[in-house]
Amino acid sequence: MYEQAQPELDRILTLVKSCPEELQAKGFELLLHGYVESQLHRRPVETVKETHNGKSGPAPDESEDGADGVVVPAAIRTRFKSLATRSKVTPEQLADLFDFNTDPFTFASVTVEGRNYYEKARKVALLVAAKSYLTTGRWVADWEEIKALCIDNSCYDAGNFAKAMREATGMLFKTVNVPTSVELNSLGTTEAHTLVGQLAGNAADQ
């Protein structure tokens, strides 16, 4: 706070010497008090940071939740930390599962494994529901997003897709609304946490 006070103190002493001798003590007290008050009420200097386009500006609202400079969107940070904790991974590991450079954010490249088509498709539904939890607070997976991620993981069978979801009702899913959404039950959310933890751990090891 007072690292650069010496020049100001020298100026105060110079001013005091110009005062009549009987007023110098009081003058010094008033000037010094004014200087201290000005330091206490000075607005903090905004932190500036060079942005990606080379311009300087106020530091963005960043979080240390992401790995390698990844910034987790402010709107999901609380649920993001909760998901990481319940999945038993670090926020940095969890961030590896997502691409936050798009809006809305998407999954990064993830590989879902399973013993058969049904198991893989249901795991995809769990994963999509976990992403939905981050954005909405609800463990409800969008039907089309499940299909898209199943296609990416080579486990989409148009003739049996709805059947694979319906037959897990009561086991992993609370409700299956074809063709709109799949809502997880309590066991499904537990399995989703486990799956997210496994995938996030594998992604961090690559």
Check: CB of residue 145 under 8 Å from CB of residue 107.
Answer: no
pLDDT digits (tens, 9 = 90+) for 112-127: 999 999 999 999 999 9
Q: How far apart are CA 119 and CA 177, in angstroms?
A: 19
Q: How far apart are CA 41 and CA 49, in angstroms?
A: 24
Per-residue pLDDT of the chain (206 residues; tens, 9 = 90+): 455 667 777 777 777 677 777 777 876 777 676 666 666 544 443 333 333 344 444 444 444 445 455 789 999 999 999 999 999 999 999 999 999 998 899 999 899 999 999 999 999 999 999 999 999 999 999 999 999 999 999 999 999 999 999 999 999 999 999 999 999 999 999 999 999 999 998 765 55
Quote the distance between the C-alpha of residue 9 and its chain's center: 47
Q: Read off the amino acid at residue 25.
A: A
pTM as predicted: 0.67
